[in-house]
Structure 1
């Protein structure tokens, strides 16, 4: 049972919305409070606000475990990511704009897949941003991929996903992020 408690904690700590915020200090000046605040809204709050509300009301669990329930909860995230991309583009903050765009393209891809198949958003939420950081800031960040082992273990331990769903969540995020960054640079 203790390993389930640890797996649950890992699942909450490395939620895709939270992880997007954890990485901001790597490439955003912490004195740029405006950009950080906007990023927290678009990357951290908008993607999960309706999930939190519906979870509190007892309509879904926090991880939206049922595949058929998932698609509608991607919409606020997609709106947040796209809004962030547009706003940061207009503000000439190209790194933040691209970061938001990669979140949009990965999430849109997973949104489409989720109509037919359950895929790990947790793994996508680790592998996509890590790929972005590595492609834009260098290979020294490759060890961040080790977090995917931890998160994958947690989601598998909780029986939230099969190995294939975990693997595909990570691979799709890596590939979509790679092509988004390469195309937009």
Structure 2
């Protein structure tokens, strides 16, 4: 039973699924952030659909399929970064509302920092923790400090990832700090534009 709960938490806490929850919560709370349903849909394409396609493509692309979990992790990073880069470019080129541009850039900064640290330092900072912590900071920004408690969503993620033997506490803390810092820096940047 414990393994099933851990697996469930791990599946629903991947960055693309969290982005779907976050985008929908913001859209339902304040549609003006999106300027209409079009940018809501575009955001879902680049922050959810394109990144989550990695889990389907992994079964089709032989180079990743033969690597098992390692290949799945690599492809997930590639597709997430592709979605974040393309979303940021589309948002800037087609003048997305500022809140959407902020979300795209925050995902790009956090995901880019995570990829950079994991590849250059050969440290396995948690993508799950990054993909939860950054969006939690974004939710606090959009909903106000009264929603500080969303950070508590990291507790079951930490528990599940440690229980499954996928990460150490240090890797989870590092991932969370990367996501939170990347998003906070993006918010500060946008506040000064």
1:27-68 deviation line (CA, Å, top 9, x unaligned): 22299332222112100121232343214664355xx4x3x8
Gaps of 5+ in 2: none
Alignment correspondent of 2:185: 179
Q: Aligned in 2, Cα 1:147/1:55: closer, same or farther, shift over 3 Å?
A: farther
**Aligned pairs (5 A) from 1:67-146:** 70-71=73-74, 73-89=76-92, 90-115=94-119, 116-146=122-152
Scaled by the length of structure 2, the TM-score of the pair is 0.83
| Secondary structure at 1:23 match in 2 | helix
Summarize the Cα distance change of 1:129–1:34 in structure 2 as closer, same or farther, 3 Å threshold. Answer: same
In structure 2, C-alpha distance between the alignment counterparts of 1:48 and 1:25, rounded to whole Å: 16
CA distance in 2, matches of 1:100, 1:60: 30
**Corresponding residue of 1:26:** 25
Q: Is the 8 A contact 1:127 1:148 kept in 2?
A: yes
Instruction: Give 1:72 shift.
Output: 5.5
How many aligned positions are there? 180
Q: What residue ranges of structure 1 are gaps of 5+ in the alignment?
A: none
More helix by share: 2
Alpha-carbon separation, structure 2, partners of 1:145 and 1:123:
11
What is residue 5 of structure 2 aligned with on the other side? 6
Q: With the length of structure 1 as denominator, give the TM-score of the two structures.
A: 0.87
CA–CA distance in structure 1, aligned partners of residues 35 and 142 of structure 2: 21
Quote how far apart the aligned CAs of 1:70 are. 4.4
Which residue among 39, 55, 58 is the counterpart of 1:54?
A: 58
